[in-house]
């Protein structure tokens, strides 16, 4: 797999990373520990070197899983994790806490769970309005000086917050949702990242599974699947949004690829410092995602996608009201 550098930081990772959240929460019942570890290790064998976790995913389960799976590959992989919530067991509903003391406690716990001496990339999971971002960046800067953290990142942060944080401690990467059906980062985030030399890591690059073409208005989700409460995933909105998948499918047929591969390839074509992190629990989906790095979209392909997408109005909010309140704008 090709490699990419996250901005001017010099942190080099595989062009396509791996978002591990779904192995612990969000998308219905998780697989067995053995199955998850097998998929994570298979990702390394296929050239993936960039893995994304968080303290809050599965209340620590995810970090432990990633730590166990990737322990044999120490020095060969880059592991990112996140802080920012008050109580990982209660989850995001308990509220935010990015106080310097909390950050330090999270890091000590994450180091043990991940079985590493230093965290390669530490993100603030959501911006905490109660704590100045300068204090957050300063706390991470201290941890970097101590050798416990290597790089600082932000998630779902506004352009203004990114600038303020970067002035205290250079930001290596910003993580936000970005795909053909959620393009808000193009307005303010991508320009400021380009200006400051910061990498961009799109999560949900396959639209929470919708852009794979495997979901339609008749699809039913497990009772524990969070897509049941996402406005964009109501049956009527899924039916309306099928138009986006139809565009991908048309290009995919011509390229002898899949809609998911075209969606990921489109992201890679936007900027050389963009590294999407699709997640999966299945080996065949892993192989499909990795294969996207080899799909080349020509300028003509990209224009065709752009022209078609411009005529489509994507229906439904990407989050419920409670989650939307946590987005820094």
For residue range 194-211, list pLDDT tens digits in order: 999 999 999 999 999 999
Given the DSSP bridges, would you call strands 78-83 and 121-124 parallel, antiparallel or unpaired?
parallel
Q: Any catalytic annotation for residue 178?
A: no
Residue of 27, 57, 123, 178 marked catalytic: 57
Secondary structure in 3-state letters for 70-115: HHHHCCCCEEEEEECECCCCCCHHHCECCCHHHHHHHHHHHHHHHC
* Whole-prediction pTM: 0.96
pLDDT of residue 21: 95
Output the CA–CA distances (angstroms, integers) from residue 12 to 18, 113, 255, in the order listed. 15, 23, 28
The average pLDDT across 53-59 equals 95
The pLDDT of residue 149 is above 90: yes
Q: Going from the N-terminus, what domains does the chain have, and what CATH number goes with each?
A: 3-206+270-294 (3.20.20.100)
Predicted local distance difference test score (pLDDT) of residue 259 = 97
Tokens 């880059």 -> residue: 78
112, 97 in Cβ contact below 8 A? Answer: no
When pLDDT is cut at 50, 70 and 90, the band that residue 286 belongs to is very high
How high is the pLDDT of residue 300?
A: 96
State the average pLDDT over residues 45-50: 98
Residue 113 structure tokens: 């769970």
pLDDT at residue 36, rounded to an integer: 96
């Amino acid at each position: 797999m090709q490699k990419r550098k996250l901005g001017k930081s010099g942190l080099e990772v595989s062009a396509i990373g791996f978002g591990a959240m779904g192995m612990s929460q969000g998308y219905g019942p998780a697989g067995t520990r053995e199955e998850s570890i097998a998929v994570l290790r298979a990702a390394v064998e296929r050239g993936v070197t960039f893995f994304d976790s968080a303290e809050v995913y599965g209340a620590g389960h995810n970090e432990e899983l990633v730590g166990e799976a990737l322990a044999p590959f120490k020095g060969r992989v880059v592991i990112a994790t996140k802080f920012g919530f008050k109580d990982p067991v209660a989850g995001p509903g308990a509220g935010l806490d990015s106080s310097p003391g909390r950050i330090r406690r999270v890091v000590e716990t994450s180091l043990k769970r991940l079985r590493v001496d230093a965290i390669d990339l530490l993100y603030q999971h959501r911006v905490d309005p109660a704590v100045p971002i300068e204090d957050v960046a300063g706390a991470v800067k201290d941890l970097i000086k101590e050798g416990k953290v290597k790089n600082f990142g932000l998630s779902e942060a506004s352009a203004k917050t990114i600038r303020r944080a970067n002035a205290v401690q250079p930001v290596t990467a910003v993580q936000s949702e970005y795909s053909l059906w959620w393009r808000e980062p193009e307005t303010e985030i991508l320009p400021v990242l380009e200006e400051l030399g910061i990498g961009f890591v799109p999560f949900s690059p396959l639209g929470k599974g919708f852009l794979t073409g495997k979901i339609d208005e008749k699809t039913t989700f497990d009772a524990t699947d969070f897509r049941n409460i996402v406005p964009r995933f109501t049956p009527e909105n899924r039916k309306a949004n099928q138009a986006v998948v139809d565009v991908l499918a048309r290009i995919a047929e011509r390229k002898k690829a899949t809609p998911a591969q075209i969606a990921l390839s489109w992201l890679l074509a936007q900027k050389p410092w963009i590294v999407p992190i699709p997640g999966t629990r299945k080996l065949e989906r892993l192989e499909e995602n990795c294969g996207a790095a080899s799909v080349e979209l020509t300028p003509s392909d990209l224009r065709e996608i752009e022209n078609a997408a411009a005529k489509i109005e994507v229906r439904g909010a990407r989050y419920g009201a409670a989650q939307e309140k946590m987005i820094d704008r």
